[in-house]
Amino acid sequence: MTQGYDPVELGRIVYPKVCKIENDVEYRKYYRFRGGRWYGGIATGDVVGCNMRCRFCWSWTRGSYRTDIGTFYSPKEALSRILSIALERKYRYIRLSGAEPTLSKKHLLDMLKILEDMNIKVKFILETNGIEIGIDDDFARQLSKFSKLIVRVSIKGTSPETFHRITEAKPEYFYTQLKALEKLIEYGMRPGDQVYPAVMLSFSPKEEVEKFIEILRKIHPALAENIDPEYVILYPHVVKLLKKYNLKPLVAYTPDNIPTFMI
């Protein structure tokens, strides 16, 4: 019988270590704010704490595996720091990254509400594994209301078996990630535009990828046509993690040879 951790339960354990509520404001730990070349230029707030333990994670030494670092910020404080970077560098996009932003739902929703009311032309890209959206119908409904939001659901692998092998999570949660896509589309987000799948392909054989694309097509044809491919980037700390779990990607890239479609 396949074993594995439950990412929902793990998220509940991590939450009180990286989030706190004071005077009805939910604070979240961040370990840095930065600009970067991804998406053609984006301002990022890197959060602390994740509900998964992916065996290829680029931030496992910083935010995703850890809860003992970082500083608490309110939604307003964090957004202010992120926007200051975006405005200074004339970026069109902002995001939360580094771990799982949806662990702090109120923090995220309040941040989106503040942004929605601002007369500023930036889009917020929510990079998420989709677990919390897939299990929470009301959360999906609330997210779908924001016109400045783009949801990028990062699917870990292309089958339940590969999902389990590269995350160690229970394989059935592979489908929870897909459920996040379904719910957001059901509530009116445009597939391929406002919501789309990013898919870790480094560990999947061609035949498995083809079957997965057909699964996406059944949810909505636009999803199959708008996959954002993800591949392992062999940073030294990522190589260390891969070796620990004896995990060998079929396709991977070095930091100085990242293909342009991933940037």
Burial label for 37, CB within 10 Å (0-12, 13-18, 19+), is: exposed
State whether residue 187 is helix, strand or coil.
Answer: coil
pLDDT tens track for 12-26: 999 999 999 999 999
Question: Residue 47's pLDDT is what?
Answer: 97
Confidence (pLDDT) at 3: 87
Which phi and psi angles does 73 have, rounded to 5°? -130, 145
What is the residue extent of each domain of the chain?
7-262
Please give the share of the chain, as a percent, with pLDDT higher than 90: 94
Q: Is the pLDDT of residue 1 over 60?
A: no
pLDDT in tens, 108-152: 999 999 999 999 999 999 999 999 999 999 999 999 999 999 999
Tokens encoding 11: 């998220």
Q: For domain 7-262, which architecture applies?
A: Alpha-Beta Barrel (3.20)
Greater model confidence, 64 or 95: 95
Q: Are 223 and 189 in contact (CB under 8 A)?
A: no
Q: Is the pLDDT of residue 107 over 60?
A: yes
Q: How many CA atoms lie within 13 A of 92 on its CB side?
A: 4
The predicted-structure confidence for 68-88, as pLDDT tens digits, reads as follows 999 999 999 999 999 999 999
What span, in angstroms and rounded, lies between the C-alpha atoms of 134 and 171? 14
Given this model, what pLDDT does residue 203 score? 97
Q: Across residues 17-40, what is the average pLDDT?
A: 96
